[in-house]
Structure 1
């Protein structure tokens, strides 16, 4: 299947990296950033502030993926906030509705998630923000950036859960048929309740990391604590199943005519965009990230060898180098960037993307 934008010439660049020695190196792993509850449209939204403390730092918003939480951004947000030479980010990481410490939602569709992101930016009055999204959070960020370009200064997508139709390309593909069962939420809830938190955390780490041995012990203990939290949240299974159904629905609609296609949303994005993916991703087809980067008008692509689904957790310094490269490029306002080009080719072409099927 093809999706075309006749008459438009897009430019996709290779991602730019700042020199490694310019990236802040924390002396030890940071603790999870402090969080607070905020009432938003009659529901509880939970946010963790990742302040820079540096004058002139620019606002950022971090969006986690399916089954994740705001803590997925602890390491990367700390690095991006600590920069002393160049643009630093003053960040907020939110728990999407139904996840982490946020309240339940009436809808877990991708459009509902995108509207929540938009409402948060409006409520916080910090826009336009540098928007960073992982997995489902990346797909929702695509929708949000297309709907409200005035609220997004740059967009960074890490393994965005954009459409692909081969279930063999994802560990979650085998559970998709069960979404048709009317009592699947109850079944998922029972399954999760029966799992020991340590077992649940290990399963998540193994599916998200290319090399689970990279997972620090401090982070493993925090993951076990989060898994224990999920046992205590009565609507977690509802949120997980509802969000997965929303993703599958967006995948199917993407290949149908009409404005509901998320690929059409991607083609409308005006913000400078960075797309990052790990070549050992077990959850999203690795062919997806290049397709996304080819379709977004002003995009950069970085594929990471030996990295899985959550590059911001597995190799946060590598991701930070690319994000800083994007920030320097945007902040330069036409002046030569201080970033180092990873691979020197820049390709222009009519945006014509063949979708994986």
Structure 2
């Protein structure tokens, strides 16, 4: 792997130990620690992801903030065990996690579907959320954006579960878990060589572990279909975002293939109080591809427009 700033020693912290909360079933999360009086950031991954999606930036953020990352139902190490991976289920899971595990408002940091979940929770339970950091959030594409053809095909398949099951089963029979994980990274990144080596290794280890989990394809289809249905309610989502009164930082990769930059620009224009930053030549996961850029933007926002959010997210 090519040398990259993310491979420097400051990013090589050992991953924290797994923790579990009983919220209608076991929920996997990790606590990166941080100052006792620091604002608490709850990191929320996207569709098909896991809390490892934050492993490149969480240790540095924990130098000044309390940092916790969660695996949503059906993803990472949180198996459904009778629960649905539907987006509404995971929104309610986040609410319970903040209420019962954390116990005070948080700053939600959400990527992709995790960004949409953060918006949904901030609207439903504003008492639990003091601010939002949206990293390439899943938002309606809009008429002027041009979705990537492969992404259009992929999300179109979610609308026809039988077709999606056939495609996923065929892919699983042809490719190893590691190959599938790398294919996802290539879709999400402009250059996967930028992903820190130790973080990439953790992703591949988890992919191998999840091979033994039952029904992972069915869970992804349910979650993906529910996401598509929510995003189809464009006017409703636009109104919801307009109601958010908490401080918001919107970060987006200029070369995102899953959520085109035009969609983020439209949302930013409609919400001028939000701070909007673009990562040039970066894809859907800036926190993996350009971790230092992502950290700098978050920390700068926390001491500027996000100061009110910081006060609300302290214990």
User: Common fold, TM-score beyond 0.5?
Assistant: yes
Three-state SS of the structure 1 residue aligned to 2:232 is: helix
Aligned twin of 1:72: 53
> Following TM superposition, by how much is the alpha carbon of 1:218 offset from its aligned partner in structure 2, in angstroms?
2.4
Q: 1:47 aligns with which of 14, 29, 33?
A: 29
Q: Which runs of 5 or more residues in structure 2 are unaligned?
A: 1-7, 309-315
Three-state SS of the structure 2 residue aligned to 1:306 is: coil
Aligned twin of 2:312: none
Three-state SS of the structure 1 residue aligned to 2:219 is: helix
Three-state SS of the structure 1 residue aligned to 2:252 is: strand
Aligned counterparts of 1:125 and 1:213: Cα–Cα separation in 2? 35
1:131-146 alignment runs, 5 A limit: 131-146=108-123
> Following TM superposition, by how much is the alpha carbon of 1:299 offset from its aligned partner in structure 2, in angstroms?
0.8
Task: Work out whether 1:249 is the aligned partner of 2:229.
Answer: yes
Q: Indicate the RMSD between aligned Cα atoms, in angstroms.
A: 2.1
Residues 248 and 275 in structure 2, CA contact (< 8 A), matched pair in contact too: yes
Aligned counterparts of 2:200 and 2:283: Cα–Cα separation in 1? 17
Aligned counterparts of 2:42 and 2:177: Cα–Cα separation in 1? 29
Aligned counterparts of 1:277 and 1:69: Cα–Cα separation in 2? 19
> Following TM superposition, by how much is the alpha carbon of 1:146 offset from its aligned partner in structure 2, in angstroms?
1.1
Which structure shows the bigger proportion of residues in strand conformation? Answer: 1
Three-state SS of the structure 2 residue aligned to 1:274 is: strand
The more displaced of 219-228 and 186-195 is: 186-195
For residues 159-178 of structure 1, the C-alpha deviation after alignment (integer angstroms, 9 at most, x for no partner) is 00111156733632112333
Task: Work out whether 1:290 is the aligned partner of 2:269.
Answer: no
Three-state SS of the structure 2 residue aligned to 1:163 is: coil
Aligned twin of 2:93: 116
For residues 185-227 of structure 1, the C-alpha deviation after alignment (integer angstroms, 9 at most, x for no partner) is 5425523532212211220121111112212332332222122
Aligned twin of 1:57: 38
Aligned twin of 2:10: 27
Aligned twin of 1:326: 301
TM-score, normalised on structure 1? 0.77
Task: Work out whether 1:168 is the aligned partner of 2:147.
Answer: yes
Aligned counterparts of 2:237 and 2:219: Cα–Cα separation in 1? 21
The more displaced of 283-292 and 129-138 is: 283-292
Structure having the higher Rg: 1
Residues 189 and 237 in structure 1, CA contact (< 8 A), matched pair in contact too: yes
Aligned counterparts of 2:297 and 2:161: Cα–Cα separation in 1? 44
Aligned twin of 2:65: 89
Aligned counterparts of 2:12 and 2:40: Cα–Cα separation in 1? 23
Three-state SS of the structure 2 residue aligned to 1:91 is: strand
Three-state SS of the structure 1 residue aligned to 2:214 is: coil
For residues 39-98 of structure 1, the C-alpha deviation after alignment (integer angstroms, 9 at most, x for no partner) is 10x21111011111x24212110000011000111121111111xxxxx21111000100
Aligned counterparts of 1:263 and 1:109: Cα–Cα separation in 2? 21
Three-state SS of the structure 1 residue aligned to 2:190 is: coil
Which structure shows the bigger proportion of residues in helix conformation? Answer: 2
Aligned counterparts of 1:275 and 1:170: Cα–Cα separation in 2? 25
Q: How many equivalent pairs are there?
A: 297
Aligned twin of 2:169: 190
The more displaced of 117-126 and 273-282 is: 117-126
| RCO comparison, higher one (Cα < 8 Å, 6+) | 1
Q: Which runs of 5 or more residues in structure 1 are unaligned?
A: 1-24, 83-87, 256-260, 334-357
Q: 1:98 aligns with which of 71, 74, 81?
A: 74
Aligned twin of 1:181: 160
Aligned twin of 1:37: 20
Residues 273 and 296 in structure 1, CA contact (< 8 A), matched pair in contact too: no
